Amino acid sequence: MSSPAKRIIRLVGVYDADSTLRGEVAYWIGARLGRRHCSLCDITHGSIRVRPEWNACRSGLPVPFDTFHRDDQPHQVRAVANGQAPVVVAETEVGHVVLVDPVRLNDCSGSLDKLLLAIEHGAAHHGLAWAPL
């Protein structure tokens, strides 16, 4: 008999930007000039604020999905991401695992649907199941 799947209790997204006012402004200007890019930002934000469809999607997920910046991410997430950003990490009952790395986030091309598929693929790849809210 196989062991039960580990349960995802939270998703954590890490933006490839800093949370300080200076970091936010530098990212915004750099993005407008084509010098900065964060694939997770492309999915969750418009040019200035959070996309309403992202808020709706996030509230409909079976677990919380929290987002952080490079400089304010939880240390457990920082450790498993190993310096990579942007990423999506699953917090499970037994630890943390990267579900979507920067390459796969970039492959989402700003699509929320593709992000959800990438998360599902990552969860399946790691034998993870959803813990209900």
As a whole number of angstroms, the distance between CA 15 and CA 63 comes to 19
**Helix 52-60, helix 112-125: angle, nearest 10:** 30
Tell me the percentage of the chain whose pLDDT exceeds 90: 67
Of the candidates 133, 130, 132, which has an alpha carbon nearest to the alpha carbon of residue 6?
Answer: 130
Report d(CA 21, CA 80) in Å as an integer.
26
Provide the pLDDT confidence category of residue 30 given band limits of 50, 70 and 90. Answer: low
**pTM score:** 0.86
What's the pLDDT tens digit per position in 40-79? 989 998 777 889 999 999 999 999 999 999 999 999 999 9
Question: By the 8 A CB rule, do 119 and 88 touch?
Answer: yes
Give the model's pLDDT for residue 37: 73
Domain-wise residue ranges, the chain: 6-130
Instruction: Tokens 């809210």: give the residue.
Output: 133
Comparing 113 with 21, which gets the higher pLDDT? 113
| 46-55, 79-88, 108-117: the lowest-pLDDT one | 46-55
